[in-house]
Amino acid sequence: MSVQIMEQAVRNGQLSDGDAQWFPYWLDRYARWTRQSSDTRIQIQPGSLIRFLQTLRDGGKPAFVRLQVVRALEFYQQLAELSSSSEVTKADLTEIRTTLERLTRADHERQAGDVRNARAETSEALKETEDAMLIGKIDSREPEVLQSMRKLMRVRHYAPRTERAYTGWVERFAQAFGGWADSFSQVGEVEIKEFLSDLAVQGRVAASTQNQAFNALLFLFRDVLKRELAFLEAVRAKRPQRLPVVLSREEVAAIFRHLRGESLLFAQLLYGGGLRHYEVLRLRIEDVDFDRRQLIIRDGKGARDRVTVLPEMTVEPLKLQIENVRKLHEQDLKTGFGSAWLPDAFASQSPEAPRQFAWQFVFPADKLSTDPHDGSTHRHHLHESVFRKALRRAVQNADIQKRVTPHTFRHSFATHLLESGSDIRTVQELLGHADLSTTMIYTHVLQQGPLGVKSPLDRL
């Protein structure tokens, strides 16, 4: 099921002269653009198709040409389905096709007027429409305010989890103050303060939860509704200052003894490099530098990149893990998949990158997943709950009574470095802290070393 079946359809006279000339050409162009072999079944995904169409648009191809591309791919999917003995998954390209049909008609209708202005108007309309398609499907039955909020969050590349949390808080706020009828025109600072106060007093939520609700409402009013709210910063809850939980070296070793395979390597990177949980999850093959014994942490907290240490103990296990990822990736490519998720902006600039081995995750998920925004299929990174569950069991088996989370290893990394005499500025750089005061908190939990304090009781 390759380009050959399209060429066979041409020879059989199944296409008109115009389509017979261009359908095989556009199928081959799309396959090359997505780095797929023309000798195997070509996987068509709405997200990658939209990006391909955008490159054609930016290159000056009119709407009717882009429509022909979509028709060619739809026809190919029909041929692939008919020639396959097993069930073939077809991408639904209806929305893309109907959009281009509308824009093609608009082009023809404008030809009688100012051609130059007509092209500019059509181009801008298409750009907005294609950007809207990249946003993905949004339930039209939702209140208009909520739909606008989702669109803006997706354009700004907010994480799906953040989108769910923010829209959830806005729904609760709407229920508390009269619903959606007037799009919040009658509510403002007073109602927000009342809502957040009720969360703290009646709901007894933590300060971090209250601040999440605050951020959701701030995004709604300031970014979606374009309303400035006076004195709103005063509503923020003050998070209590708590000292981080730190494990002793013996406790770290005890936990490691109860972890195996991928989970053990995951924990060793957390502790050995001072990484955050999500930083290990998002680690890609190209971020591992074995020669320099370092890890490159990209787009960390505060959208900052940094370099941290790659522990010698993890080198061989990490090489084995990467080799396993290579085998999995090669298998994905053979079945027509093999792409990893990349931010839309980068994926548009480098359409071949998602299928390259260097961009695969070091800790990939067991199963392929569908992007909720554009319907494309990728192999994402491991789900965050996988390591948490393994760690919870290991802590219980090691009989450690402290409250241990993945972040505890990062706290322990910093504290143990300072205990060993490492310069606090060096530790700050390894952790990626923008402010030294954030790193200084670890000086309060030191038990020994140059910054430690000996109790007067021990001197009696």
CATH number at residue 264: 1.10.443.10
* Residue 173 belongs to domain spanning: 144-235
Instruction: Indicate whether 353 belongs to any domain.
Output: yes
Q: Are 13 and 126 contained in the same domain?
A: yes
CA distance 287 to 307: 9
Q: Is 276 a catalytic residue?
A: yes
Q: Are 300 and 428 contained in the same domain?
A: yes
Q: Are 263 and 163 contained in the same domain?
A: no
Total domains present in the chain: 3
- Please identify, among 135, 157, 174, the residue that sits at the C-terminal boundary of a domain: 135
Instruction: Indicate whether 376 belongs to any domain.
Output: yes
Instruction: Indicate whether 240 belongs to any domain.
Output: no
Catalytic, out of 51, 71, 154, 276 = 276
Q: Is 407 a catalytic residue?
A: yes
Q: Are 285 and 198 contained in the same domain?
A: no
Q: Is 298 a catalytic residue?
A: no
pTM of the model: 0.59
Question: Domain containing 154 — which CATH number?
Answer: 1.10.150.130
Q: Are 78 and 97 contained in the same domain?
A: yes
Q: How confident is the prediction along the chain (460 residues), in pLDDT tens digits per residue?
A: 566 777 777 777 777 877 888 888 888 888 888 777 666 778 787 877 887 887 888 778 888 899 999 998 998 888 887 776 666 667 788 888 888 888 888 777 766 554 444 444 444 554 555 555 555 667 778 888 888 898 888 777 677 778 889 999 999 898 888 777 667 777 878 888 888 888 877 777 788 888 899 899 989 998 998 888 776 555 566 666 678 899 999 999 999 999 999 999 999 999 999 999 999 999 999 999 999 899 988 865 655 678 899 999 999 999 999 999 999 999 998 888 888 887 654 555 566 778 889 999 999 999 988 876 666 788 999 999 999 999 999 999 999 999 999 999 999 999 999 888 888 888 888 888 878 877 887 776 665 444 455 656 556 5
Instruction: Indicate whether 153 belongs to any domain.
Output: yes
Instruction: Indicate whether 160 belongs to any domain.
Output: yes
Instruction: Indicate whether 437 belongs to any domain.
Output: yes
- Please identify, among 235, 260, 278, the residue that sits at the C-terminal boundary of a domain: 235
pLDDT of residue 451: 47
pLDDT of residue 139: 74
pLDDT of residue 387: 96
pLDDT of residue 248: 92
Instruction: Give the tokens for residue 38.
Output: 């023309």
Q: Are 148 and 196 contained in the same domain?
A: yes
Residue 351 burial (CB < 10 Å; 0-12/13-18/19+)?
A: buried
Q: Are 116 and 154 contained in the same domain?
A: no
Q: Is 433 a catalytic residue?
A: yes
pLDDT of residue 435: 80
Q: Is 301 a catalytic residue?
A: yes
How many beta carbons lie within 10 A of that of residue 266, not counting itself? 25
Q: Are 57 and 99 contained in the same domain?
A: yes
Q: Are 63 and 190 contained in the same domain?
A: no
Q: At 112, give phi and psi (nearest 5°).
A: -75, -15
Q: At 90, give phi and psi (nearest 5°).
A: -105, 135
Catalytic, out of 150, 355, 410, 416 = 410
Q: Are 393 and 448 contained in the same domain?
A: yes
Q: Tokens 């000086």 sit at which residue?
A: 443
How many beta carbons lie within 10 A of that of residue 96, not counting itself? 23
Q: Are 73 and 191 contained in the same domain?
A: no
Q: Is 444 a catalytic residue?
A: no
Catalytic, out of 35, 61, 151, 301 = 301
pLDDT of residue 47: 75
SS (H, E, C) 181-230: CCCCCCCCHHHHHHHHHHHHHCCCCCHHHHHHHHHHHHHHHHHHCCCCCC
CA distance 129 to 74: 20
- Please identify, among 203, 235, 267, the residue that sits at the C-terminal boundary of a domain: 235
Under DSSP, is residue 308 helix (H, G, I), strand (E, B) or coil? strand
pLDDT of residue 396: 96
pLDDT of residue 133: 54
Q: Are 104 and 193 contained in the same domain?
A: no
